[in-house]
Amino acid sequence: MMTPENKPVDSETINVLKNRQSIRKYASAPVSDAHVDAILSGALRAPTSSNLQAYSVIVVRDADTKAQLAVPCGNQQHIVDCPVFIAFCADLTRIESALQRNGHDIENNNLELGLVASIDASLVGMAAYVSAESLGIHGVMIGAMRNKPEDIAEILGLPQRVYAVFGMCLGYPAQEPKQKPRMPVTGTVHYQRYDAAASLAVIDPYDAELKRHYDSIGKESDPHSWTHEVDKKFSPRPRNGLRAALKERGFDFM
């Protein structure tokens, strides 16, 4: 970013984000409780809609528990190997209590309440990720926690009206992979009004750039790399039972 005087604007936080990459292999060095406490103390100051704080965070170090969590998450080995695994959960239990104390209930809650709790948990999770990276502790987000929300709830002892939005592996990196390119900002950042033509214009060049990236690290990829991956993953409607499973847990996304 440049100022009107053509001088670059930068900060430690911006550089942490610009250099971010997902880490799946970890060194043997432990992540101390003091580091985890520091990471979460900053993360819990993330923005929260109407001060609802509709989230809970579960820190998992136990090897058996991590191994159990890995199974419904597609047997991702980094969940087992990471020193610390953190689950970020949407939590309506305290909201339900507040309503009950005032003579109301949360039954048949609408889409908004589930979204608020899920977004609150996501904001805390991202804040935790950035806080960890600022300390040299890296990780990877685990969206596969939503593969089988009922199994995850049983493993973590989640009560009704709580579900794991995603997890996070944390540790000191044993290797740092080459950073994956992002789409050009010309298609993802708009000014004053949304530019539909600009948004779609970046797809073909990004397909080519991502293909070059995968070639450079020896990973096989379709020539239309990004569009092929998106179609392969999302045309079969992933997690088709997720809405019903979350409704059973007290989140109505209808």
**Domains in the chain: boundaries:** 20-177, 185-231
Listed in order, strand segments (DSSP E) in 161-247 are 162-171
What pLDDT was estimated at residue 2?
A: 58
Distance from C-alpha of 21 to C-alpha of 39, rounded to nearest angstrom: 18
Closest by CA to 141, choosing from 46, 18, 24, 42, is 24
| Six token digits for residue 68 | 């159990």
Q: How confident is the model at residue 7 (pLDDT cuts 50, 70, 90)?
A: confident
**Average pLDDT, whole number, for the chain?**
95
What is the layout of strands, in order, in the sheet containing 84-91?
55-60, 84-91, 162-171, 138-142
Q: Report the SS3 class of residue 101.
A: helix
pTM for this entry: 0.93
Instruction: Tell me the pLDDT band of 4, cut-offs 50, 70 and 90.
Output: low
pLDDT, tens digit (0-9, with 9 covering 90-100), for 99-119: 999 999 998 777 899 999 999
Q: Which of 151, 149, 165 is nearest to 246 (CA)?
A: 149
- The CATH architecture one would assign to domain 20-177 is 3-Layer(aba) Sandwich (3.40)
